[in-house]
Amino acid sequence: MALRVAVTGPTGEIGISTIEALEAHPEVTQIVGMARRPFDPAERGWKKTVYRQGDVLDRDAVDALVADADVVVHLAFVIMGTREESAKVNLAGTRNVFEATVAGGPRRLVYTSSVAAYGYHTDNPVPITEDVPTRGTPEHYYSEQKAACEEALAETTAGSSLEVYVLRPCIVAGPKAPALAEAMPWNHLPGAVRRLMQAVPVLKPPMPDPGTPVQLVHHDDVASAIALAVTTTTAPPGAYNIAGDGLLTFSDVGKALGARPIRVPHVAAVATSEVLARLPSVPSALEWLHAGRASTVMDTSKAKNQLGWQPQHTAAETLAALANTVG
Ligand SMILES: NC(=O)c1ccc[n+]([C@@H]2O[C@H](COP(=O)([O-])OP(=O)(O)OC[C@H]3O[C@@H](n4cnc5c(N)ncnc54)[C@H](OP(=O)(O)O)[C@@H]3O)[C@@H](O)[C@H]2O)c1
């Protein structure tokens, strides 16, 4: 089988690894990537990939991107941004991609949703399986938008013959996905200050640990899941949870990334989240605090048993690889 694949967001943390996995796949013969920044695939030694600069908000550009593709992989998204700015790209841009794919010739769509689509609800089961509704958490823009995109996907593709694969990864990390480390404010301090903080433990910034477990997945393992979703002839369309094996704590993450973990009662995390939810206006960055409110540990057995996915890195190995890169 000779597959032509169109990818939105090939320059991002997941995008780079995804293109590498698709480049290495014998059945993928042609890849067209589109994002806004200038980018040269040849600099990475990619042979099958052509890149065009474009915005998913531009429907003509999206139509042209998907026109000759057998499979569309939609990765373009704004993760860290304001509620208002991210909504434009994430809702209108994503809808453009879904509608263009249904209207055009591709037979398959692979969309990376997120664990955040489930929302941080105390009545979510532990672990979460794919049949749990993606309710989102309205107070957290990213979670709300991920849930809205899944709803838009179901609505846009209803009645069409498109094969739709939805991957729901947990937090992605690793040497080529440093966003988790970059989200820690102290990692933006000058090197000398950071070294001093690391040398004197009391100077390390505190990191609250409300006891909520954390899953991590390596960028190459997400890429291999996407490549499987693009090429599988046996796994049924549908949703697949994606997370590395093993659970971490906020303390593990804090320690690895240079903080001084402080155990706080879980009720404190819930109370903080509830207070934030009641405030009339909250900076978008603070909305991420809602993520500590409830367990969102996912069951990944469907991806392993049906998609044939086998992560090569545990959550702990992924964290160590990230810490080595930023350390
Ligand atoms: N990273 C994680 O921890 C994680 C976890 C679960 C799910 N996901 C999901 O996986 C997907 C990819 O995430 P990522 O980590 O690779 O994100 P990322 O590193 O922030 O990359 C985002 C990509 O989207 C492109 N993009 C953004 N706005 C665009 C626009 N208007 N038009 C065209 N391209 C645009 C960016 O390139 P330009 O800026 O050059 O346009 C970039 O290539 C997203 O849907 C994300 O929600 C990520």
Pairwise CA distance, residues 254 & 248, whole Å: 10
Q: What is the pLDDT of residue 265?
A: 84
Residue owning the nearest CA to atom 41 of ligand 1? 36
**Helix intervals (H) in 130-279:** 141-157, 179-182, 191-199, 219-231, 250-256, 266-278
At residue 216, φ and ψ (nearest 5 deg) are -135, 150
Regarding predicted confidence, which is higher, 270 or 309? 309
Q: Which sign does the torsion angle of CA 68, 62, 119, 225 carry?
A: positive
Distance from the CA of 90 to the center of ligand 1, in angstroms?
A: 9
| Whether the CB of 124 sits within 6 Å of ligand 1 | no
Distance from the CA of 302 to the center of ligand 1, in angstroms?
A: 25
| Residue whose C-alpha is closest to residue 141's, from 271, 267, 273, 283 | 283
Mean pLDDT rounded to a whole number for the chain: 93
The arithmetic mean of pLDDT across residues 301-321, rounded, is 98
Residue 97: both structure tokens together: 């991609």
User: What confidence tier does 98 reach under pLDDT thresholds 50, 70, 90?
Assistant: very high
Distance from the CA of 96 to the center of ligand 1, in angstroms?
A: 15
- Is residue 184 within 8 A of residue 258, CB to CB? The reply is yes
Of 7, 8, 14, the one to substitute when testing ligand 1's pocket (max ligand atoms within 8 A of C-beta) is 14
| Whether the CB of 59 sits within 6 Å of ligand 1 | no
**b/e for 282-292, b at 16 or more Cβ within 10 A?**
bebeebbbbbb
Pairwise CA distance, residues 101 & 109, whole Å: 7
Residue owning the nearest CA to atom 39 of ligand 1? 36
Query: Domains (ranges, CATH) in the chain?
Result: 3-173+216-243+300-311 (3.40.50.720)
Give residue 38's identity as a one-letter amino acid code: P
Report residue 62 CA to chain centroid gap.
Answer: 21
Q: What is the pLDDT of residue 109?
A: 98
| Whether the CB of 35 sits within 6 Å of ligand 1 | yes
Least confident among 191-205, 209-223, 246-260: 191-205
Distance from the CA of 202 to the center of ligand 1, in angstroms?
A: 36
Question: Tens of pLDDT along 217-250?
Answer: 999 999 999 999 999 999 999 999 999 999 999 8
Least confident among 11-20, 220-229, 248-257: 248-257
- Is residue 165 within 8 A of residue 240, CB to CB? The reply is yes
The arithmetic mean of pLDDT across residues 3-15, rounded, is 98
What's the residue count for the chain? 327
